[in-house]
Amino acid sequence: MHEFKYIKGRLYCEDVKVEDLAKRFGSPLYVYSYHTIIDHYLKLKNAFSSIKPLIAYSVKANSNLAVLKALVDKGAGLDIVSGGELYRAIQVRCPMNRIVYASVGKTEREIEEAVRRKILFLNVESLQELESINRISKRLNTITRVAIRVNPDIEPKTHRYITTGRLTNKFGIDFKSAYQILMLRRALPNVKISGLHIHIGSQITDASPYSAAISKMVDFIERLRKKGIELEYLNIGGGLGIIYNHETPQTAQRFAKRISPLLKRSGLKIILEPGRFIVGQAGILVTEVLYTKSTPKKKFVIVDAGMNDLIRPALYDAYHQIFPLEIKGANPRRTEKVDVVGPICESADFFAKERRMPKVKSGDYLAVMSAGAYGFTMSSNYNSRPRIAEVMVVKDNVFLIRKREVYADIVRNEIIPAFLLGL
């Protein structure tokens, strides 16, 4: 369910014609629907209402301050992965007891910032990290809550770049080592191990890998309880899949129904860390067709957005639907098979390959659908392209939530050494 639909042959975001946005703010452009974001958050919240979990939105999926503020105001917490994301959380005044922090490589400085702010907990991914947190907390004369990120060794059946819960992945700690660390806990008096965390991957369309992983966790929790180790939280991570093409992901309701009994059996407070599920369908990338050209083997549609704006096809071979903003009067039989490509000097710079689409021409606008998650946040200045603008639509209101960069932004932090200037 999302708020992008055709009315009389024109694509709308909520009550606004997307083409008007492209004309007003320029192309390429990210467009987000406020109500789609909130709707997906509430779907998850309602589905789990019998458990009342903390839903900590995963900031890295879409970290625009307006998006974060909208969710935090509705009661969401934030799942962060860096000091920079903690800074964003502070900017939107997220209550610190709703922030959880996971990363295999937290620096000394990042740990200190999180410890000083007293976030809900840090998800610890190695013994050395736990020792660092203990040492830093001791220096700051405090006790820091942590959760151990366990690697449950589960195959989530998704793209190999986005699996995170196999023992061959760098994430988390295996059960045996986690157990040993818990046995060591008295040697680390400045950390309090108050929970366990898993995050098995992303774009997972079926509840089975979750129930397999959570079952393992519940067994582990029961084993710990017998040893007198009482925990408070079980954080089951994010990873809920969405529809990009023909996937049939479980709905929030079905997902909740499958795993709620297990979660209740854990006896712990539950945390969810959805990213893509909340913002994925809530955003599109609008782009203008610059040229079309035919080679003896192919037809190319060359657009003004590139892999620097949306890297998912290049990075994961990801599929995104692509629709013209205007289908009014279009003859549905006048389709052709094309590659939709960007202007960047890389062959991986494409949005679709061998895709059957309505015929388009120079000057037409296209919408790359389901681009709200891992779109703008993974964008870069590659090829010295200014990063593009983001707008948020709320019914018939439009808000610019990130200005388009200008050329000066690209070179802002660069310095030519004096010797090169002949000084």
**Residues involved in catalysis:** 345
CB nearer ligand PLP, residue 237 or residue 324: 237
Q: Which residues bind ligand PLP (CB under 6 A)?
A: 58, 60-61, 79, 81, 102, 199, 202, 237-240, 273-277, 373
Q: In the complex, what is the shortest distance from the CB of residue 324 to ligand PLP, in angstroms, rounded to a whole number?
A: 28
Q: In the complex, what is the shortest distance from the CB of residue 347 to ligand PLP, in angstroms, rounded to a whole number?
A: 27
Backbone angles phi and psi of 294, in degrees to 5? -110, 135
CB nearer ligand PLP, residue 88 or residue 355: 88
CB nearer ligand PLP, residue 22 or residue 256: 256
Q: In the complex, what is the shortest distance from the CB of residue 57 to ligand PLP, in angstroms, rounded to a whole number?
A: 9
Q: In the complex, what is the shortest distance from the CB of residue 101 to ligand PLP, in angstroms, rounded to a whole number?
A: 9
Half-sphere exposure for 222 (CA within 13 Å, toward CB): 11
CA dihedral 390, 394, 397, 401 (to 10 degrees): -20
CA dihedral 74, 75, 79, 84 (to 10 degrees): 70
Strand partners, 4: 13
CB nearer ligand PLP, residue 201 or residue 324: 201
Q: In the complex, what is the shortest distance from the CB of residue 171 to ligand PLP, in angstroms, rounded to a whole number?
A: 8
CB nearer ligand PLP, residue 150 or residue 240: 240
